């Protein structure tokens, strides 16, 4: 082999090595791109979620079971919808009760997606689904509470809304199923009921007036009862005093009769002395410092007065 041939071989060998490295690098790059593409188009379905696979905006399949799945690169896309139950806080709204009173009703609802395909087809998004559900709930609440008086709603002791939540739940679910929104309401609860702000002061004044009226009624009843007790007591006192006076008069009468009997027995033993005693008693009652008596001198009354006792 000549020197010229050796030079040509040495010049071709680096070029061939370079092309080999380029090919290897290109293959490696292609493998990395393919691997990255495959990995980027794999997705994990978590517990409690739906994976929606779309192709050019149309739903082609829905993955529900937890695990690893895939999509076609550049053609398909994946979105997520919750599979668990969600809470929707319904904005407070004014309603009219049966007795034509306005009140604010504040509720919350617990709901979930029952059919992701129907929900996407008819409600489109979670926000739209909640808005639709909120309107249906408000309509049902207004219809049900409109059949109750205000006092029956706010007073738990006299409330007649017993199965109110169940009635609202049933009515809303019927509407959701009829319109195929793909969602279901699992619970609805009333958090609180308030009066509109402009009515509160009027209601407070009415409550104060009613309490004052009730207090006055109690005071009137107390005064009437006090007067009745006083009248009964006075009557009883009069009856007791009357009975006591009658008993006292009877005792006095008996005593006077007994005294008269004793006097009669005593004076009967000496009639002259009795006559003298009675005459002296009459002097005490008829004669004083200014008494003038004109009597015959032979009158027994005058004779005794002058000291002639025989």
Q: How confident is the model over 117-130, as pLDDT tens digits?
A: 999 999 989 999 99
* 206 assigned to some structural domain: no
Structurally, the chain folds into a number of domains equal to 4
DSSP three-state, residue 242: helix
Q: What is the CATH number of the domain that holds 167?
A: 3.30.479.30
Tokens of 281: 């008693």
Residue at a domain's end among 80, 105, 131:
80
What mean pLDDT do residues 37-50 have?
Answer: 85
Domain span holding position 116:
85-195
More confident residue, 156 or 275: 275
Among 127-141, 229-243, 267-281, 295-309, the least confident range: 295-309
User: Using the 8-state DSSP alphabet, how is residue 84 labeled?
Assistant: S
177 and 250 both lie in a single domain: no
* Distance separating alpha carbons of residues 91 and 65, to the nearest angstrom: 35
Residue labelled with tokens 């009226």 = 213
Residues 6 or more apart from 35 whose CB is under 8 A from it? none
Residue at a domain's end among 58, 80, 102:
80
Provide the mean pLDDT of the chain: 81
pLDDT value for 207: 77
252 and 286 both lie in a single domain: no
Beta-strand relationship, 183-194 and 102-113: antiparallel
227 and 250 both lie in a single domain: yes
pTM over 0.85: no
105 and 191 both lie in a single domain: yes
* 200 assigned to some structural domain: no
DSSP three-state, residue 33: helix
Among 39-43, 44-48, 237-241, 274-278, the least confident range: 274-278
37 and 111 both lie in a single domain: no
**CA 13 distance to own-chain centroid:** 96
* 207 assigned to some structural domain: no
219 and 287 both lie in a single domain: no
* 275 assigned to some structural domain: yes
* Distance separating alpha carbons of residues 57 and 73, to the nearest angstrom: 14
| Nearest Cα residue to 116 out of 69, 79, 62 | 62
Among 87-96, 119-128, 271-280, the least confident range: 271-280
Measured over the CA atoms of residue 284, residue 285, residue 291 and residue 293, the dihedral's sign is negative
- Specify which of 4-13, 62-71, 160-169, 296-305 reaches the highest per-range mean pLDDT: 62-71
110 and 159 both lie in a single domain: yes
113 and 185 both lie in a single domain: yes
265 and 277 both lie in a single domain: no
What mean pLDDT do residues 20-33 have?
Answer: 81
95 and 191 both lie in a single domain: yes
* 56 assigned to some structural domain: yes
Confidence of residue 157 (pLDDT cuts 50, 70, 90): very low
* Cβ neighbour number for residue 179 with a 10 Å cutoff: 13
166 and 179 both lie in a single domain: yes
pLDDT value for 304: 65
């Amino acid at each position: 082999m000549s020197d010229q041939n050796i030079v040509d071989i040495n010049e071709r060998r680096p070029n061939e090595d370079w092309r080999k490295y380029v090919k290897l690098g290109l293959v490696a790059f292609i493998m990395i791109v393919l691997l990255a593409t495959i990995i980027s188009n794999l997705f994990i379905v978590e517990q409690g979620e739906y994976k929606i696979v779309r192709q050019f905006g149309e739903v082609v399949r829905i993955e529900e079971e937890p695990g690893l799945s895939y999509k076609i690169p550049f053609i398909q896309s994946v979105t997520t919808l919750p599979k668990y139950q969600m809470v929707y806080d319904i904005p407070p709204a004014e309603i009219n009760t049966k007795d034509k009173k306005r009140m604010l009703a504040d509720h919350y609802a617990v709901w979930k997606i029952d059919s992701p395909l129907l929900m996407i087809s008819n409600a489109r998004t979670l926000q739209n689904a909640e808005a639709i559900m909120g309107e249906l709930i408000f309509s049902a609440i207004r219809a049900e509470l409109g059949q109750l008086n205000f006092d029956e709603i706010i007073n738990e002791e006299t409330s007649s809304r017993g199965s109110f939540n169940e009635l609202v739940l049933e009515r809303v679910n019927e509407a959701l199923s009829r319109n195929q929104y793909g969602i279901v309401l699992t619970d609805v609860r009333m958090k609180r009921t308030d009066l509109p702000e402009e009515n509160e002061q009027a209601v407070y004044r009415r409550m104060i007036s009613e309490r004052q009226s009730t207090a006055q009624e109690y005071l009137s009843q107390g005064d009437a009862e006090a007067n009745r007790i006083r009248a009964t007591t006075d009557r009883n006192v009069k009856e007791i005093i009357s009975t006591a006076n009658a008993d006292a008069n009877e005792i006095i009468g008996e005593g006077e009769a007994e005294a008269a009997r004793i006097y009669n027995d005593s004076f009967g033993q000496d009639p002259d002395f009795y006559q003298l005693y009675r005459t002296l008693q009459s002097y005490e009652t008829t004669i004083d410092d200014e008494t003038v008596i004109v009597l015959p001198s032979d009158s027994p009354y005058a004779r005794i007065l002058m000291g002639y006792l025989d």
